[in-house]
C-alpha cells in the first residue's frame, strides 16, 4: 500500500460488477433521515459517527460511481500544472496561459513554471459556466421576442 500526500488526488473508478452494491449503498444513504447522525459500523461492530461533510462526500461519490463516472478526491489547495488545469477546463495549455497572462485566473510561479490552485481553476470554471448560461438565456429571450424560438 502506498502512502499519498495531501497534494495528490486519488482517482477511483468502479467496475460494472460493483454497480449493484453501489446502488444499494446509495439507497441506504438517501434513506438516512434529515437531522439524524449517520453512522458506520466498525470492525468491532462499534458505531462510528460520520461528520456531515464526510457524509455529503460519500453520497456524491456513490452517486457518481453508480452512474459509471470516475471520482477524484483532491484538496482545493492542490497546485496544478498548466496542462492539468487546461485539461480540467477543457482548453489547451496555450489558451490557458493567455488567460493567466491577462489575470483571469490567479497563479504563481515555481521557478519558470506556472502553478494554479485547484480552487482557483474551479472558481473560474463556475464563473465561466454562469456567463455562458446568462448569454444563452439572453439569446433565447431575443429569439423568442423576434418569434424565432418555438
Please write the tens of the pLDDT for every residue from 15-46. Answer: 888 989 999 999 999 998 888 889 888 899 99
Residues 103 and 128 in one domain: yes
Threshold 0.85, pTM exceeds:
no
In a domain, 139, yes or no: yes
* pLDDT number for residue 150: 66
Pick from 35, 55, 73: which residue ends a domain? 73
pLDDT confidence of 96, banded at 50, 70, 90?
very high
What one-character DSSP code corresponds to residue 8?
Answer: S
Quote the CA–CA distance of 80 and 61 in Å, as a whole number.
22
In a domain, 2, yes or no: no
Q: Is the dihedral of CA 94, 99, 101, 106 positive or negative?
A: negative
Pick from 39, 73, 107: which residue ends a domain? 73
What one-character DSSP code corresponds to residue 80?
Answer: E
Residues with Cβ < 8 Å from 103, sequence gap 6 or more?
none
Residues 102 and 52 in one domain: no
Amino acid at each position: 500500500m502506498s502512502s499519498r500526500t495531501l497534494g495528490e488526488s486519488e482517482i477511483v473508478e468502479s467496475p460494472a460488477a460493483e454497480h449493484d452494491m453501489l446502488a444499494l449503498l446509495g439507497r441506504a444513504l438517501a434513506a438516512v433521515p434529515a437531522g439524524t447522525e449517520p453512522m458506520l459500523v466498525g470492525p468491532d461492530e462499534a458505531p462510528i459517527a460520520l461528520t456531515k461533510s464526510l457524509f455529503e462526500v460519500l453520497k456524491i461519490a456513490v452517486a457518481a460511481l453508480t452512474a459509471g463516472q470516475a471520482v477524484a478526491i483532491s484538496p482545493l489547495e492542490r497546485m496544478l500544472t498548466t496542462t492539468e488545469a487546461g485539461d480540467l477546463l477543457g482548453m489547451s495549455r496555450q489558451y490557458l496561459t493567455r488567460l493567466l497572462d491577462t489575470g483571469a485566473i490567479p497563479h504563481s510561479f515555481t521557478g519558470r513554471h506556472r502553478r494554479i490552485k485547484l480552487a482557483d481553476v474551479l472558481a473560474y470554471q463556475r464563473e465561466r459556466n454562469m456567463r455562458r448560461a446568462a448569454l444563452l438565456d439572453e439569446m433565447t429571450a431575443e429569439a423568442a421576442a423576434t418569434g424565432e424560438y418555438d
